[in-house]
Amino acid sequence: MDLKELAKILEMLNDKNESTGGTFLQVGHCYSFRTVTMIYTGKIKDIRDQEILLEKAAWIADTKRWADYVKDLSAEEIEPYCRDVIIYKGGLLDVFEVEEAYLPREQK
């Protein structure tokens, strides 16, 4: 490896457009989280290395058709939490942001 190649590598490592290794998730935003077992919804109150603290959270046991759920969060079975809940990042499969008004708060 010559000095030009090394300089190019260092430039790429210092490029501000590259990912910083952080998270796309933001405190204060609402999301639907598909985990290895079920679905959770909620507003992020805090994010740690391995955990996400949710307020206004609900556990969704049955969504029926996934595309319909993604459109409007319509679900067959909903169990809202009456307190904050912690979910673990290691169990997440995918996440999408939702408007707070769509967070399910009624048991169904």
Torsion of CA 43, 104, 68, 97, to 10 degrees: -10
The tens digit of pLDDT for each residue in 9-61 reads 777 666 555 455 667 899 999 999 999 989 999 999 999 989 999 999 999 99
pTM for the predicted model, two decimal places? 0.78
Q: How far apart are CA 108 and CA 73, in angstroms?
A: 13
**Phi, psi angles (nearest 5°) of residue 63:** -100, -10
Is position 11 within any domain?
no
Task: Read off the CATH number of the domain in which 36 is found.
Answer: 2.30.30.100
> Tokens representing 17?
């457009």
Least confident of 2-6, 33-37, 45-49, 62-66: 2-6
Q: What DSSP state is assigned to residue 57?
A: E
Is position 9 within any domain?
no
